[in-house]
Copies of this chain bind each other. A is one copy, B any other.
Amino acid sequence: MTILYTTPAPPYYAVIFTSVLAKNVDGYIEMAERMEALARKQAGFLGIDSARSDVGITVSYWQSLEDIDRWKADAAHLVAQDQGRRQWYQSFATRVARVERDNFFALDDSANSTDR
């Protein structure tokens, strides 16, 4: 069963990465998987959700802006970002946002829905 990420109580930070792929996506999936595995090991990493239709959306969750900046500047990540600009992406947008409130719902929970 697919499980959504549950994150600690706000405030925390989200990086919203939306993208449209270019025609030549050789090596893209492998690199994306490698970057996700690497992100999970970073200090302050809280979770990641990812989906792709016409547009790809990846939202990663972090404890602080400093954690996000450190991950952005990671050496292996910089190489991937550079190849993304040169080859894989037709376009992308990155948004860094402070999560101020959240709400979770699950059918099987006795609580059913939680505002916080």
Contacts and interface: CB of A to CB of B under 8 A. Distances in A.
Q: How many copies does the complex hold?
A: 2
Interface in A86-103: 89-103
| Interface range on chain A (Cβ under 8 Å from partner) | 35 or more
A42 B105 CA distance: 25
A96 B92 contact: no
A113 interface: yes
A8 to B, nearest CB: 12
B101 A96 contact: yes
A90 B55 CA distance: 23
Interface of A: 1-7, 10, 14, 16, 18-20, 22, 49-57, 59, 65, 85, 89-107, 112-113
